[in-house]
Chains A and B, each alone.
Chain A
Amino acid sequence: MNEHLLFEKKEIYIHEQPKEELINGPLIEPEKIGGRLQILKNKNGSFLRFLPYGLENVVSDDWAFVVNNSVLTYSKDSNSGESCTFENKQNLNKYKHQFEFNELSSVRRIYQGYGIPCLVFMLTDGRTLPNLYFYKGGSKEFLQELSSYFVFKKDVTDPRLWYVQRQNSEQFKQSLYELSLFNEQRENVMKKFLNEPVQSTLLGFSKVTNILRDVIKPSESASKSQFYVNDFKLDIPNPGDDMSDLMDSLVSDNIHSVPNDGYEMVTKVDLGPMPTVDRGPPVQKEDLIFDKEGRLFNHERIKQMIFRGGIQNELRITLWKFLLNYYEWDSTAKSREQKRKIRVEDYFRMKLQWKSISDEQKNKFSLIKERENLIEKDVQRTDRTHPYFESDDNVHLVEMKDILMTYNMFNFDLGYVQGMSDLLAPIMVIMDNEVDSFWCFAGYMDKIESNFLMDQLNIKLQLSNLKALLEFFDSKFSHYLEKNESSNMYFCFRWILILFKREFSFPDINRLWEVLWTDSPCKNFHLLICISILLMKKDDIMTNNYGFNEILKFINDLSGRIDLEKTLKHAEGLFLQLQNFKNVPNNIYEIIGFPVTEKNEELIDESRLLIPRSSSRESSAKLSPSSSFKSLSFKKDDDSVEVLN
């Protein structure tokens, strides 16, 4: 094989989280795939490989095609042409990972879960290897071993992250790089300096004093830039103005510094500290109070509780019907019974409409035939790893088709669009009943139908709103995306279209959706969730210098790796920051549905700074849907954004 083993560390594990967990409950123990982590060398150079136990002696049969992160083994069978022989090894093979050293972009050493150290390798093309757990220790030693092949540089914002510094032959670039004044592509440095002297210089200065984060706010008009320092707004007439004044104004009491692992971390606070948000327990049966006519007496409080902690799994079958407009919140038991009767009749009436189309008729009804084909194909491949849909000839697959076909009759103008089956699947698992699933699905579609319209305008609007929010919360990252052709935020398309369905496990998506269905604490809260994930991951993107392709790949690959509770807390923290900050631009208020009339501006000025402290709760209640927070308490904490892992 012409490979030389240079270094090996055994007892390394990959964790495979059980993909579908049926219940919310204690975390199911992940499957652990053990193996060895090797540094090897062949004629093309050095590379790193994780080799699962059991694959040690697998020699490629006829010819092996060693690729970036996997090995394909083909054998030429003279009778049947090319066929694959890896079927039996396939299960293990998917855990085999390797990359060439020149593909490594960064490595992070973290302590996950029970304090087991693990290494996370990120590559230049946007891939992230699964966490490699060092159960028997030795991650530090491994990094030390690696450091004989690379020049690692510790990231200034994240002391657990080392990125690979490449040798650069051109002296000029090299010197710039070693000074580390400029993070971005070196070719652009001078050009950028000429175009944006203020920003470039500040960026450079910020490196000299180590970090000066979030210095530059976006200029709201072409002629002047605004800098927010705490609550003071500085209007800078023109880029290129007196630099020393600007620096003086920035390096002032309004900036506090905290020691951070040998680096001095200078953080400019402009939105105030990120409030710490506590999440609550899921709603349980005991929390529901019905009056004597069966009205859910305390439904406002229940909604708040759902926002705060979700719903216990067994109770979802009841409460989702309220959240998805199957029943009115203030309905009586009797009216619900009547409503259900009508729902059942309506469903079967509409189902009969398409069921009764004869084959002959269908041949002359191309639109319905086309949609039926598409639905059938998608049903066959929607969440088939979930036990509820797993087996072939599964009655639930038939039900899924019937529900989607009936929805097509119910909303023929919209029809069936890919992504809908994703939205339906979790509802079916919870409802376990065709009619109820249909109407809950229809209620969900009412909320987000516009995501699926032909013109895609609503998706585009949401993406542009997302960009505006990002610009507000983190203009530096927003600027980075612009430079990397990603300002259309298209990499978030999947998140928004099907509301993170592909990003989370079933239990997590149940939780996330029920939180979103409460419409709390503001309009477009899902966009704050997007922002939250992006901010938690921005260092990965920026440190690795990812461009358009890599960003999309990186974001797609976050699927299954996002900590939902942490994200929900952080997103609510962002909301509270917006609520507390008084100089929020109107376009941001509009996105999250805060009133922007002058009258309200007064209220905002009085109340925002102190919310959610007790004295100002009442005034905030007048302003926005945040009234639902009256009974909740928050701790203020000087917390900074942490990187999720």
Chain B
Amino acid sequence: MSSQTRSGSGGGGTASASRTCQFKLVLLGESSVGKSSLVLRFVKGQFHEFQESTIGAAFLTQTVQIDDTTVKFEIWDTAGQERYHSLAPMYYRGAQAAIVVYDISNKESFHKAQTWVKELQRQASPNIVIALAGNKLDLANKRAVSYEEAKQYADEHSLLFMETSAKTAANVMDIFTSIAKKLPKSDVNEQASRQSQNRSGVNVGGANQNQQGTSGCACK
């Protein structure tokens, strides 16, 4: 036990030297590539071999500590099937970050990931931080998408890129942490004093939906 990272949503009652930033993050990608599993690993440290498909969407929160800043992710996990594609904008609207997921053992899912990236770059917030996750790294023996190919694509489109495995937890924490590091944590003294008053159960997240079509975080 060398170090312990303590995290929390900050705000309200407790006196804390660190500040808290809040970001909306959305997961997109083809059906069954492991979006929910990535979130479940990140948020609860669990993995279910037979994670049921997501109907509609799920919302989870998780915090990571980056230096003296606590970054709170508000994570929207979406249904992957094409049939429900039309609902996606509701979730990526106002998102400051997105993880586009594909399955490294499924070439088609990589193509689908590229169309998601395109859509995000065209329609989501202009400064959205996009990460590409090649999931199911544990199935490397069935690999259909090479690391180099995906990496090259990611570089060309200025995406963060990692191969991950929700099953073994490889790189899961890292991809979220990398995103947290890349997100702009603007100076927030004024905002902080104003917004910290709000925390008495008032919905900060919901309010952000409207306000944050652009960049920047809801820092407290």
Please list the residues of chain A having a beta carbon within 8 angstroms of any beta carbon in chain B.
1-2, 42-47, 59-74, 81-84, 86, 90, 93-94, 100-103, 105-106, 124-126, 163-170, 173, 177, 185, 374, 377-378, 380-385, 417-419, 421-422, 452, 454, 456, 484-485, 490-491, 493-494, 497-498, 502, 544-550, 552-553, 556
Q: Using CB atoms, name the residue of chain A closest to B59.
A: A553
- Most chain A C-beta atoms within 10 Å of own C-beta, residue among B11, B14, B79: B14
| B201: A residues at CB distance < 8 A | 105-106, 124, 163-164, 166, 544-545
Q: CA–CA, A519 to B83, complex, Å? A: 28
State whether A374 and B31 are in contact (beta carbons under 8 Å apart), knowing that A86-B45, A381-B53, A547-B207 are contacts in the complex.
Answer: yes
B86 at the interface (CB under 8 A from A): yes
Closest 6 CB pairs of A and B: A547-B206, A547-B203, A45-B14, A72-B45, A166-B200, A102-B12
The distance from the CB of A273 to the nearest CB of chain B, in whole angstroms, is 32
Residues of B12-64 whose CB lies within 8 A of A: 12-16, 31-32, 43-46, 49-53, 55-64
Whether A102 contacts B1 by the Cβ 8 Å rule is no
Asked whether any CB of chain A lies closer than 8 Å to the CB of B197, the reply is: yes
Q: B1-17 interface mask toward A, CB cutoff 8 Å, 1 = contact, 0 = none?
A: 11111111111111110
Structural contact, A102 and B9, CB atoms closer than 8 A: yes
Task: Enumerate chain A residues within 8 angstroms of B49, measured Cβ to Cβ.
Answer: 384
B14 near A67 (CB under 8 angstroms)? no
CB neighbours of B169 from chain A (8 A)? 74, 82-84
- Determine the distance from Cα of A100 to Cα of B4 in the docked complex, in whole angstroms: 16
B9 touches A66 (CB 8 A): no
With a cutoff of 8 Å between Cβ atoms, the chain A residues found around residue B11 in the complex are 102
- Of B12, B50, B205, B209, which one neighbours A125 at CB under 8 angstroms? B205
Contact check, B8 vs A374: say whether CB atoms are below 8 A apart.
no
CB–CB B53/A62 < 8 A: no
* Contact in complex: B205, A100 (CB < 8 Å): no
Instruction: Report whether A44 and B8 are in contact in the complex, using a CB–CB cutoff of 8 Å.
Output: yes
Q: Evaluate contact between B86 and A93: CB separation under 8 angstroms.
A: no
- Judge whether B83 and A454 touch: CB under 8 Å: yes
In the complex, what's the smallest C-beta–C-beta distance from A365 to chain B, in angstroms? 15
A418 CB contact (under 8 Å) in B9, B53, B202 = B53
CB distance from B129 to the nearest CB of A (A): 19
On whether the beta carbons of A90 and B46 are closer than 8 Å, the reply is yes
With A66-B4, A485-B206 in contact, do A502 and B87 touch (Cβ < 8 Å)?
no
Determine how close the nearest CB of chain B comes to the CB of A155; give it in whole angstroms. 12
* Among candidates A62, A66, A168, A456, residue contacting B7 with C-beta atoms closer than 8 Å: A66
Provide the residues of chain A in CB contact with B197, threshold 8 Å: 168-170, 173
9 intermolecular pairs with C-beta atoms under 8 Å apart: A68-B63, A71-B45, A72-B45, A81-B170, A90-B45, A102-B10, A169-B197, A378-B32, A548-B206
A388 CB, min distance to chain B CBs, angstroms: 14
Our pick among A83, A126, A381, A485 for the contact of B168 (Cβ within 8 Å) is: A83
Cα A302 to Cα B145 in complex, Å, equals 58
B85-99 interface code vs A (CB 8 A; 1 in, 0 out) = 011001000000000
0/1 per residue, B60-82, Cβ < 8 Å to A?
Answer: 11111000000000100001110
Contacts beyond the supplied A94-B44, A545-B201: 4 A-B pairs with Cβ under 8 Å: A66-B7, A67-B7, A545-B202, A549-B203
Q: Which residue of A lies closest to B50 (CB)?
A: A384
**Nearest CB in chain A to that of B33: its residue:** A377
State whether the Cβ of B160 lies closer than 8 Å to any Cβ in chain A. no
How far, in angstroms, from A71 to B44 measured CA to CA in the complex? Answer: 7
Taking a contact as CB atoms under 8 Å apart, the answer to whether B12 and A63 are in contact is no
- What is the distance, in angstroms, from B67's C-beta to the closest C-beta of chain A? 15
Contact of B203 among A44, A101, A385, A484 (CB under 8 A): A484
B200 touches A548 (CB 8 A): no
Q: With an 8 A cutoff between CB atoms, is B188 at the interface?
A: no
Q: B64 — which chain A residues lie within 8 A by C-beta?
A: 65
Assess whether B171 is interfacial by the CB under 8 Å rule: yes
A106 to B201, CA, bound (A): 9
**Least CB separation from B58: chain A residue:** A556
B86→A456 contact, CB < 8 A: yes
